[in-house]
Amino acid sequence: MKIKFKFKLLSLILMTCSLLISCGQINNFKNENRSKFPDLKGPYLGQKPPGDVPKIFAPSIVSSVYYEHSGAVFTPDGSELFWSRAINEGRSPRIIVIMHMKQENGVWTEPELASFNVDTYNHINSISPDGKRLYFFSENEREDTSSVWIVDKIENGWGKPRLPRVTVIDNPGSRINEVHETKSANLYCYGPTDAMPSGQGIIRSKIVDGKYQAYKSPGPTINFPHDARHPNHSPTIDPDEKFMIFVSSRPGGFGDQDLYISFHQPDETWGPAINLGPKINTVGVGNSWPQFSPDGKYLFFTSRVKVYNGDDIKDQKYTYADLTKIQESVPNGWRNIYWVTTSFIEKLKPEFLK
């Protein structure tokens, strides 16, 4: 009996020691990973600001080896950052999640999933100028359902997603995306319009006496009527509605889709769409999802850099080790987030508006 008891006691001691060692290894692993993350302080994650030539924003931190599915969306006070990331681009169902970082005691936290992802596809749209509302779009490919959601800012973070009244009360049944709110609470979106052959384009809903009005096109200078799946989309609006930057695949651009700016005119119409030029629109391929920084000094957007040419493999330009190294680097051909100074706005503004 004594021998059996001693054996059981010894086994229990060994199991306990093993468990303690395992726990210690896990904690060491966590601490080691935490220590590898850079100590980021200051505005915009402490990144060196860009000039008039776009550069990748926060490489290997925000811009990663994955497909970044939105521009960078900061809260008005600059203390939180959101963006969307496609984890498994090209597979089904697509997993696109909203990422989140924030300042704690002056230091930026590591990227984590935002608390309000609701589906397999979650695309951040914007944050209202007063910082009280966050807009995002979700889609479920298997059930063929989609919604725009509002998340309210609460004392300890962000609340639960809710449907906006612009889609469920004032304009029921509408399918909108890329929602941007102005200081006057007007909404600029991508959604249904008869102004485009595809039936989709950039639209606006004004709020009058607390009620959102029917969607209207801002006019043909914005919704240039050409036949494409997404001909004009992703508007980002100056909070005072003085100008709008958007994406268009209209003829005459530098790529398959470029960034354009239009200025609000004294007669309440929108002026001609002006291409942002080769410095911005040739940095990569398919520029999209523009976002203004909270202070208006920078423009964030996504783009793809071609890292291979069509004959590279045939010409044996790379070894297998070269190819894997490229895929594990930034950029690697997927979308990255770029940023550039907004000094171009004043340069492109018509003289009569200055």
Query: Does 67 fall in a domain?
Result: yes
Q: Is 24 within the bounds of a domain?
A: no
Quick check: is 34 in a domain?
Answer: no
pLDDT at position 32 is: 45
pLDDT of residue 35: 57
- 287 domain residue, yes or no: yes
- Report angle CA 341, 56, 129 to the nearest 5 degrees: 50
User: What phi and psi values does residue 262 have, to the nearest 5 degrees?
Assistant: -135, 140
pLDDT at 229: 78
Range of the domain at 134: 50-353
Taking the C-alpha atoms of residue 327 and residue 12, their distance in angstroms, rounded to an integer, is 48
What is the number of structural domains in the chain? 1
22 part of a folded domain? no
On whether residue 36 sits in a domain, the answer given is no
Q: What is the CATH number of the domain that holds 147?
A: 2.120.10
pTM as predicted: 0.88
pLDDT of 21 reads: 41
* pLDDT less than 70: residues of the chain: 1-35
What pLDDT, on the 0 to 100 scale, is given for residue 174?
80
Q: Give alpha helix (H) positions in the chain.
A: 2-36, 165-168, 278-281, 320-327, 344-348
pLDDT for 22 equals 41
- 38 belongs to a structural domain: no
In a domain, 16, yes or no: no
Distance of alpha carbon 10 from the chain centroid: 56
Q: How far apart are alpha carbons 122 and 108 in whole angstroms?
A: 23
